[in-house]
A = this chain, B = another copy of it.
Amino acid sequence: MALPRAARTQRRTRIQEAKEEQILEAALEVFSLHGFRGATVDQIAEVAGMSKPNLLYYFRTKETMHRALITRVLDTWLDPLREFDAEGNPVSEIRSYIRRKLEMARDFPRESRLFANEILQGAPNIEDELKGPLKSLVDEKAEVIRSWAKAGKIAKCDPYHLIFSIWSTTQHYADFDVQVRAVLGQGQSGEGRFEDAARFLEQLFLGGLNVSEQPSEA
């Protein structure tokens, strides 16, 4: 038996790279729909178009696969927040952030659901990453928002809860898609859904944070 991917030192074969990609794509599909415990290796293997032992040759356990998927997705998932620019115009920065998050909910709903499943079930595998890299990034951007409020550029508000509310409102359209569609009915379940949401959320957040509404010294 050859050494599987876990034992590789430097170079990765073309075939390794392709297969691992193929597997993680299938794993995303299945994990995001059923959660960790609800997903089966057989199912992932079938979606990936390979036999179960072949899959387990690249990822020795179900958990290895899940962890690899989570860490990769978490990284790209935080990109919109990283782009948050302290030097930019507060109003347009917040507006862009909302828009980008909403686009991600529209274009990458599986990634959003993968996280939602993980967090919902107590985040047994990624608690460290939440308390580490995620918290650091949020702390940094919260400080930016606080400075904007202090300078009177936006209304004073708790920056952490502002970020939470942007996360929750935007990701809602990915995670609770079934409910949103059910409530809106067939008429508005099509494409216009996200445009309406974007318009509403812009009004909500820019209205709620507008400094004309709330003088910097209340």
Residues on A lying within 8 angstroms of B by beta carbon are 33-38, 113, 116-117, 119-123, 127, 130-131, 134-135, 138, 155, 157-158, 160-162, 164-165, 167-169, 171-173, 175-176, 178-180, 182-185, 188, 196-197, 199-201, 203-210, 212-214
Contact = CB atoms under 8 A, between A and B. Distances in A.
A152 to B, nearest CB: 16
> How many monomers of this protein are in the complex?
2
26 contacts: A33-B121, A33-B122, A35-B37, A35-B38, A38-B38, A38-B121, A116-B116, A116-B120, A119-B178, A122-B178, A123-B179, A127-B182, A131-B182, A134-B183, A157-B203, A160-B196, A164-B180, A164-B197, A165-B201, A167-B172, A168-B169, A168-B176, A169-B169, A207-B208, A207-B210, A212-B213
A136 to B, nearest CB: 10
